[in-house]
Amino acid sequence: MPAHHLTITTIQLMKWSFLARLNIPNMDILKIATINSARCVGVEKDYGSIEVGKQADLVCLEENPLENISNVRKINRVIQSGKIVVENN
């Protein structure tokens, strides 16, 4: 599947929703999905957070996932290698 066909799968959302029901803060759930996952596979020097010198593919959302973790499915645009590859206006 091409990288620009980014989707949040139902299984991913179910896992994150389950963690939220366990009262794990949404910020921590997002860290699990990003920087902690990068650390787990040993690529945190290049991926997992937004910092100068790191690779940064971004998913811009319509609504705040800190308010409701299911908002991760409300994708506005995806920026990959500095180019907008998905735009949902």
Mean of the per-residue pLDDT values of the chain: 88
Average pLDDT over residues 47-73: 92
Sheet holding 83-87, edge to edge: 58-61, 75-80, 83-87
Give the pLDDT score at 13: 85
Give the pLDDT score at 1: 43
| 19-33: burial string, b at 16+ Cβ within 10 Å, e else | bbeeeeebeebbeeb
pTM of the entire predicted model: 0.79
What's the Cα-to-Cα distance from 4 to each of 50, 67, 81, rounded to whole Å?
19, 26, 10
Give CA 18 to chain center in angstroms: 17
Checking if the pLDDT of 3 tops 80, the result is no
> Where do the DSSP E strands lie in 23-71?
58-61
